């Protein structure tokens, strides 16, 4: 429960562009989610960090977090979060100018959308 609250606070601070607070709460969320073995919150917190680094203009660092979040979403079988992480990866690679890689992730995301209807 505490990890979920911290993850939500992290996201709220991301949306208000208070990156310092977002990082603070995000780190706490990850630590607690690992302690209590809550992979879902851990994955969502990792995705938040990907978003933070996207906002900071560091798509390479964002990719590191999105890949970890993608792994967890696949481990949990959460198709909607997997699709979201694939799109995030596509966006990050697009920012790097790696259009072919970006398209690969967008295509994977679209396949999930089609099969989960």
Q: Is the pLDDT of residue 114 over 90?
A: no
Comparing 44 with 1, the larger pLDDT belongs to: 44
pLDDT for 116 equals 47
Count Cα neighbours of 91 within 13 Å in the Cβ-side half-sphere: 15
Burial class (CB in 10 A: 0-12, 13-18, 19+), 7: buried
Largest CA distance in the chain: 40
Distance CA 1, CA 67 (A): 25
pLDDT at 117 over 60: no
* 36-74 burial: b if 16+ Cβ within 10 Å, else e: eebebbbbbbbbbbbbbbbeeeebebbbbbbebbbebbe
Show the domain range for 36.
2-115
Mean pLDDT of 17-41: 96
**Is 0.75 topped by the overall pTM?**
yes
pLDDT score at 1: 84
Residue 113: band (very low, low, confident or very high) from pLDDT cuts 50, 70, 90? low
| Percentage of residues of the chain with pLDDT beyond 90 | 94
In the predicted structure, residue 13 carries a pLDDT above the cut 50? yes
CATH number at 91 reads 1.25.40.10
The structural domain count of the chain equals 1
43-95 tens-digit pLDDT = 999 999 999 999 999 999 999 999 999 999 999 999 999 999 999 999 999 99
């Amino acid at each position: 429960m505490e990890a979920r609250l911290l993850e939500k606070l992290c996201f709220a601070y991301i949306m208000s562009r208070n990156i310092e607070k977002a990082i603070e709460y995000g780190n706490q969320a990850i630590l607690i989610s690992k302690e209590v073995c809550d992979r879902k919150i851990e994955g969502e917190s990792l995705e938040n960090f990907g978003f933070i680094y996207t906002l900071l203009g560091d798509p390479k660092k964002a990719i590191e977090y999105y890949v970890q979040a993608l792994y967890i979403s696949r481990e949990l079988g959460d198709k909607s979060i997997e699709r979201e992480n694939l799109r995030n990866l596509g966006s990050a690679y697009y920012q790097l100018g790696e259009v072919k890689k970006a398209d690969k992730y967008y295509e994977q995301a679209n396949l999930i959308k089609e099969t989960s209807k």
